[in-house]
Structure 1
Amino acid sequence: MGRVIRILALAVAAVVGPLAAAQAQRIPVVRDAEIETSIHRMLTPIFRAAGLTPEAVSIFLVQDDGVNAFVAGGQNIFVNTGLIIEARNADELMGVLAHETGHIAGGHLVRGQEMMERSKLIATIGSLLGAAAGAAAGRGDAAMAGAFTAQDMVRQNMVNFTRGIESSADQAGLRFLAQAGIPADGMLSFLKRMQDAELAHPRGSDYSRTHPLTADRIEAVQEAVDKSALRGGPVPPGYDDQFARMRAKLIGFTQPETVGRVYPASDTSLPAQYARAIGAYRRNVFADALGQTDALIKAEPRNPYFLELRGQILLETGRLAEARPYYERALALLPGEPQLLIPLAQTKIDRGSDAELRSAIRDLERASVDPETTLPIVWRLLGTAYGKTGDMGKASLALAEDNLARGDLPNARAQVARALQLLPRGSPGWRRAQDLQREAEDKPG
């Protein structure tokens, strides 16, 4: 799994799109409609308290066992799978993500970029002054001293800035939690656990490295919790169940060998059944996985994610025709969900008839409305489907999108050139190819 990056490292995402930026920096973003939707639903009251438009904030999962979350590219929150697994309850997860919302509301990414630019200027000026002083004195050590002094100043400025925005995000998060009626006990317990981890391991945890912890921060949160009328109270209805399901799902997918220990057979709760079904699937015990998934569907026939799971097991074991009705039933419950449209299109492409291919293309085009958040597999499937229908211009355009998203610039440029030759001049596809050509030319490599 990839490692965590610092809170300001994805500022470029504002320009090129969060998924493309994450991919360029080798951040393993994974998509899961259930978890993204659950987190977004739980955070909506917090977003509103922060004065944000909930629909404008996106949630992305990072497949990383490090305990961390960060913001990037404006209003995008990246949540490590390790954070969800390590959190003890919905309260702790909401505490962490209220803090991240504080970064968004406070414009900390923009301020961070400005601080870095100022720091570069200070370092440059310091080096130049040191060089000038050394030249005047005829001493090279004076120039080196000037450079080191400038670097020390930059380093201390960045430390002070980072500590300041972390404290500011804490205070904002506390306000948002209070306005949303969510107790802040989880923020406090999480910070204390991260502080304990930092003391136990001198290098610190992923969270403490990217969110510097200080005694003052924890004392301030403790004081706010002590004064809160919500202290010790419950989270809003449904939060604990949603959290338990997403945690069970992630443990099943990312740590299948631990499922039996974390969720023994004596645990008959629905999240435990969910984890065991997924764990069986991940361990290639497909008969058990399908049987346990059937039991989940029987318990909640209108749960689209249980239907999706059965479709996924069938699809990935080559039983595409059997998978299709499960995706169709799930889509009937979640109309237009891209992460359901994509596998459904796969089952149609496999059938290969003109009607099925045209239907698959419609599904994939619906799943690619926003190029900035479209998964590369959509472009690959579109390229395949268009190619099978004989529309080589659109096939080349789709493959250009795919190659560019994956950073394969030589093939992206070749496919763009082919698309420009084949597509009608002035058509929407031709204009998009021109955009891609400029983007490919602007990238180094």
Structure 2
Amino acid sequence: MRKPSRLVSVIAMVAVMVLSWSPPAGAQRRQEMQFLSDAETEHIIRDMARPIFQAAGIDPDAVNIVLVNDNTMNAFVAGGQNIFLHTGLLLGLEDAGQLIGVIAHETGHIAGGHLVRGSEAMENAFLSSLIGMGIGIVGGIAAGNAGAGAAGVMLGQHLAERNFLSFSRSQESSADQAGLSYMEQSGISAEGLVTFLEKLGAADDPLLVDRDAGYRRTHPLTRERIETVRNFVERSRAGKKPVPAQWNEEFRRIQAKLYAYLDPNGALRRYKADDPSFVARYGRAYAYFRRGEVRQALPLVDGLIAQEPKNAFLYEMKGDLMLQNGRAVDAAAPYRKAIELEPDAGSIRVSLAHSLMEQNDSRLADEALRNLQVASKTQAQSAFLWRLMAQAWSMKGNAGMVAYATAEEAFARGDKPMARFQAERAEKLLPAGSPGWLRAQDIRGQAGGK
């Protein structure tokens, strides 16, 4: 079975209706929003933000970090504990300190319950439904297959973030104060938030470009707010203490990957061949990968692994390179190593299962199923995961579990009639009371069955 590659090689745009419910006519837009998924980027950001989330009394692992493929400099929260970061923001920030400042501020909105009311809440509810599906149908940066967060999805209705949330100045000030408190409790300087707000504070600057205006539209700025944050830094115990150097290194890697994904040719100009730094080699490796030039990418990846042999995401990238090049047998070993280093990385487990299924060897079905079952705890709404699951169960000759997995796949895709049909088949074929049988009943009920 061959699947489209993840977005690092090809952007597969799929128009979908996520749920049968549609937002009001006034909420519909012509433009579309594209989400991206990358395990490494989300892992790095979550680890940086962990002290902030903990200070706010929020479980760090319960916060969804979602990337939006949009070149405007913006971030927003919606649907509960979900922080949306535009790629334009990540590329426009100057360092990790600014990123932490933004996340601390957005965490203030989450902890303060600054959610929209009235008609806008309907749009927020629609987004919540998407989040409830695990945003399993998104674009993947890191590459490998179309399922572990890989196929591109464009929503039929444009749910632009400024239509989700339009915070008042008082809410912005409240989020500032909360964010400053979280950084103070964490011993992290708020200087990054100051420099970020100052960067956006030129509200009367005629040279201000649209790319920088996005955050200002959804987060109205005042000079008083900026002055308040600046004064806080002057009094803070952390003062202007720089963030850990490792954070800035990891942040530059995030940027290099995004540059390479969005503009591989530009990334090769930016990260020149005579630059031996890790970040430059990293950016070039992804750029070559994005261009499909595996022979140029592979030596760079091997060199990076030699430098950081405990970096799971480098092994993931090597597995992706092998799989993209039709070398599924060679892809399995680096994927297994990546899982050994990051056992909770569900998307990597899906990639390993993909490489195993590509070999069309029934002896590998059990290993694929083990990894898919673990991954389903966090990737349950990935349609591709369930497609692989159905294939593995088919290899084992279990028609009931094939029907069940196919029902899950259809449900994740939003195809309720097919989900109901396959769930009914699964109920007839599986032992009554078994986990698959029970879940099939749930799917049938959620899909409108009797």
Partner of 1:423: 430
Q: Is the contact between residue 198 and residue 204 of structure 1 (CA under 8 Å) also seen in structure 2?
A: no
Offset at 1:425?
2.7
Other structure's SS at 2:285 match: helix
Which structure shows the bigger proportion of residues in helix conformation?
1
**Which among 399, 410, 413 is matched to residue 406 of structure 2?**
399
Partner Cα separation in structure 2 for residue 350 and residue 295 of structure 1: 27
Partner of 1:6: none
Other structure's SS at 1:238 match: helix
Amino acid at match of 2:249: D
In the TM superposition, 1:284-303 aligns within 5 A as: 284-303=292-311
Offset at 1:321?
0.6
Partner of 2:52: 46
Partner of 1:137: none
Partner of 1:414: 421
Other structure's SS at 2:240 match: coil
Other structure's SS at 1:205 match: helix
1:255-313 alpha-carbon deviations (Å, 9 max, x no partner):
21211332223432101110001101111221111111111112222221111111101
Offset at 1:203?
9.6
Q: Is the contact between residue 394 and residue 423 of structure 1 (CA under 8 Å) also seen in structure 2?
A: yes
1:388-423 alpha-carbon deviations (Å, 9 max, x no partner):
322222222222222222222332232223223322
Q: Is the contact between residue 68 and residue 82 of structure 1 (CA under 8 Å) also seen in structure 2?
A: yes
Offset at 1:198?
7.8
Amino acid at match of 1:76: N
Amino acid at match of 1:178: E
1:288–1:394 Cα change, 3 Å: same
Partner of 2:76: 70
Other structure's SS at 1:234 match: coil
Structure 2 residue 218 is matched with structure 1 residue 210: yes
Other structure's SS at 1:30 match: strand
Partner of 1:350: 358
Offset at 1:57?
2.5
Q: Is the contact between residue 198 and residue 205 of structure 1 (CA under 8 Å) also seen in structure 2?
A: no
Q: Is the contact between residue 197 and residue 204 of structure 1 (CA under 8 Å) also seen in structure 2?
A: no
Partner of 1:226: 234
Other structure's SS at 2:292 match: coil
1:397–1:205 Cα change, 3 Å: farther
1:353–1:198 Cα change, 3 Å: farther
1:212-271 alpha-carbon deviations (Å, 9 max, x no partner):
223332232233233334333211352111111121122122221211332223432101
Partner of 1:186: 192
1:60-118 alpha-carbon deviations (Å, 9 max, x no partner):
33333332222233222222232211111001101100011111211223xx3479679
Structure 2 residue 104 is matched with structure 1 residue 101: no
Partner of 1:315: 323
Amino acid at match of 1:411: M
Partner of 1:245: 253
1:415–1:163 Cα change, 3 Å: farther
Partner Cα separation in structure 2 for residue 313 and residue 332 of structure 1: 19
Partner of 1:165: 171
Partner of 2:159: none
Q: Is the contact between residue 350 and residue 371 of structure 2 (CA under 8 Å) also seen in structure 1?
A: yes
Partner of 1:275: 283
Partner Cα separation in structure 1 for residue 200 and residue 355 of structure 2: 45
**Which deviates more, 322-331 or 247-256?**
247-256
**Which among 163, 174, 184 is matched to residue 180 of structure 2?**
174
Offset at 1:436?
1.3
Other structure's SS at 1:441 match: coil
Partner of 1:59: 65
Partner of 2:15: none
Structure 2 residue 387 is matched with structure 1 residue 383: no
Amino acid at match of 2:89: L
Tell me the TM-score normalized by structure 2: 0.77
Q: Is the contact between residue 73 and residue 211 of structure 2 (CA under 8 Å) also seen in structure 1?
A: no
Amino acid at match of 1:353: D
Amino acid at match of 2:81: Q
Q: Structure with the greater relative contact order (CA < 8 A, sep ≥ 6): 1 or 2?
A: 2
Partner of 2:161: none
For structure 2, the residue ranges without an aligned partner over 5 or more in a row are 1-6, 8-17, 20-30, 123-164
Other structure's SS at 2:168 match: helix
Other structure's SS at 1:70 match: strand
Other structure's SS at 1:100 match: helix
Partner Cα separation in structure 2 for residue 34 and residue 98 of structure 1: 20
**Which deviates more, 302-311 or 196-205?**
196-205
Offset at 1:170?
1.1
**Which deviates more, 69-78 or 277-286?**
69-78
Partner Cα separation in structure 2 for residue 429 and residue 275 of structure 1: 43
Tell me the TM-score normalized by structure 1: 0.78
For structure 1, the residue ranges without an aligned partner over 5 or more in a row are 2-11, 14-24, 119-157
Partner Cα separation in structure 1 for residue 410 and residue 436 of structure 2: 16
Partner Cα separation in structure 2 for residue 331 and residue 345 of structure 1: 12
1:177–1:263 Cα change, 3 Å: same
Task: Say which one has the larger Rg.
Answer: 1
Partner of 1:17: none
1:400–1:65 Cα change, 3 Å: farther
Q: Which runs of 4+ in 1 moved over 4 A?
A: 114-118, 201-204
Structure 2 residue 418 is matched with structure 1 residue 439: no
Partner Cα separation in structure 2 for residue 62 and residue 415 of structure 1: 33
Partner of 2:14: none
Structure 2 residue 338 is matched with structure 1 residue 325: no
1:357-399 alpha-carbon deviations (Å, 9 max, x no partner):
122111101100246x542221121122222322222222222
Identity rate, percent? 43
1:411–1:167 Cα change, 3 Å: same
Q: Is the contact between residue 72 and residue 212 of structure 2 (CA under 8 Å) also seen in structure 1?
A: no
**Which deviates more, 293-302 or 402-411?**
402-411
1:203–1:80 Cα change, 3 Å: closer
Q: Is the contact between residue 105 and residue 179 of structure 2 (CA under 8 Å) also seen in structure 1?
A: yes
Partner Cα separation in structure 1 for residue 394 and residue 214 of structure 2: 45
Q: Is the contact between residue 85 and residue 247 of structure 1 (CA under 8 Å) also seen in structure 2?
A: yes
